[in-house]
Structure formats: C-alpha cells, structure tokens
Amino acid sequence: MRTLITGGAGFIGSHLSERFLAEGHDVVCVDNFITGRPDNIRHLLDNPKFRVIVHDVSKPLFVDGLIDNVLHFASPASPVDYQKSSIQTLKVGSLGTHVALGIAKAHGARFLTASTSEVYGDPEVHPQTESYWGHVNPVGERSMYDEAKRFAEAMTMAYHREHGVNTHIIRIFNTYGERMRLDDGRVLPNFVGQALRGDPITVYGQGQQTRSFCYVSDLVDGIYRLLFSDYHLPVNVGNPVEITIKEFADEILRLTGSKSQVVYKPLPADDPKQRRPDITLARRLLGWEPKVGREEGLKRTLDYFRKKVQAEAKK
C-alpha cells in the first residue's frame, strides 16, 4: 500500500510515518515545516519507501502514482502555535482538509482526519462521549483551532455522504512522547522543560483542572486500527486515566528529582476545566485501549527531553 500523511514530519505524524513503514507501506510525507521538524524524520530519509514533499496542503497538491490511504494530520496543535498562526490553522483545517479529501476521492483511497478533544470545548458532560456536541466559544482565543477541527469533521462527513469516500475521524485527547518540542507550549513539555532546567513550574489557576495523557504509541495503534475499520463517525482515542494539573506537576517533580517550585498564574480564557475520554466505542469497535501506563510513558519521554535540555545547555 501507499499512504500519504499530511503533517508527516510533526510529532504524531512522524510516529505515524514510522508505523506505516513498519507495516510495509510506501509513505509520502507532506509537510511545510511550520511546526513539523526535519529532525523528526531524518532517520527515515534513507528508506526507499519514504518520500517527502515540502508543501502547504492548504494549496492544491497533485501526487503522482496510486494512493491507497490519506491521513490528514497537518495543523498546529498547541495553543502557542495555533494562536501565533491562527489564519494558517483555520486554512489547514478547512482548505487543507478539502485538498486532502480531494486526493482521497481522486484515488479511491481511505481517508482519516485528525480531530481533537477540543471539539468538546470546555465540556459540560464528563467524561466526553462522541455523542456530546460540545461547549465551544466560536470567537474565543482558542476558537481558530476548535472551529477548524469542527469544520474538518463536517467536511469529512460531507465527502463521505455526498461522494462515498471511505472516511474516518479520530478525536485525539492529550498525547505525549518523544519528538514533542520543548517550546511547544503544552503542559507536559512546559513542566518537563521547567523541571529539568530548575525553573519554576507554571500552573495556571489552582491546578484543579484535569487532563488525561495518552502515550504516542498507543495513539498511533488506535489510528491504524480506525483507518482499516468500517466505521465513519468520530471515535475518541485517548487514555481515560484522569489527573489534576497540580498532581501532574508533582508527578513530574518526583520523576525528574527537580527542586523547582510550583508557581500559580491566572487561568487562560476558555481553558477546559476537565478532559477525559469515554473510550467505550474504541474498545468495542477497534478492540483498542491504551497499554502504556503514564509513569512508564513519562520515563521514556523524560529520557528524550533530558538529551534535548543537555544539548540546549551546550549551545
């Protein structure tokens, strides 16, 4: 099979590229490197089954040869990135999804788009099930990402219903692992970077908001299973083990052995107060559930970040 992955040099996209190569696919990675990094895929460049196209998928794209699968993972995904590139985020969620769906339609390929738990906004239903329509501020400081993903879901279902494209939608909850950027702005790299440098750990609000963290290999396995399923409506994939942000800060301090102090700052606008996936559907449809516990996954990720911080200190 030949699989095209937009955002294939990003954090999740690079792990997907690895997985599909390991499964014997030829992989076409499309990335404009706004948030993706060449280092994420450098180890794949000598593989004759791996090809990189440097391109903004918001613009028309022609790919020669047959494509069997299209995975649309191009988008800034952290608040720092999508607020800095708000228009580009909206374009890749709308125009980029349209382009990627067009490729899938032209090739008769399977299609899977990366949606997010952010479509639930600051949820009034807990845990979040796929049937919940969400509580999103359409003009708030996070709206460019939330609404881009909601539009992408709608566009994906329109192509399925109107053109018969074999589409799939995955709603991704907080994911972590190797190849996250230290300056990504999300809670895990923030806490780990601060702890390893000995800087104060920044907790917003009182730290009582909750998150559920899924290790990247578990997420990739869920994506792979969903792509080859017969289900077309959204499916949550994430780890349902919930933890408060303050507890998470304490856990990072313990695992790193850091003496950093915790400091508190005001909670950002529209920051979700709670986040935990209901993965009943993923268990039933895909036979999927996470295998890597948080402590094990964090230890693997900390090894990666320690090397990054050490390299940073030498510059």
Specify the DSSP class assigned to residue 292. Answer: S
d(CA 31, CA 20): 17
d(CA 33, CA 39): 11
- Looking at the DSSP bridge assignments, the partners of residue 308 are none
DSSP string, 131-187: T---B--TTSTTHHHHHHHHHHHHHHHHHHHHH---EEEEEE--EE-TT--TTS-SH
d(CA 237, CA 12): 13
Residue with tokens 């049937």: 131
Name the residues annotated as catalytic.
145
d(CA 143, CA 155): 18
Contact 8, 31 (CB under 8 A): yes
Specify the DSSP class assigned to residue 189. Answer: H
d(CA 260, CA 201): 6
Phi, psi at 190, each rounded to 5°: -60, -55
Helices 187-197 and 245-256: crossing angle in degrees, nearest 10, is: 40
Contact 95, 55 (CB under 8 A): no
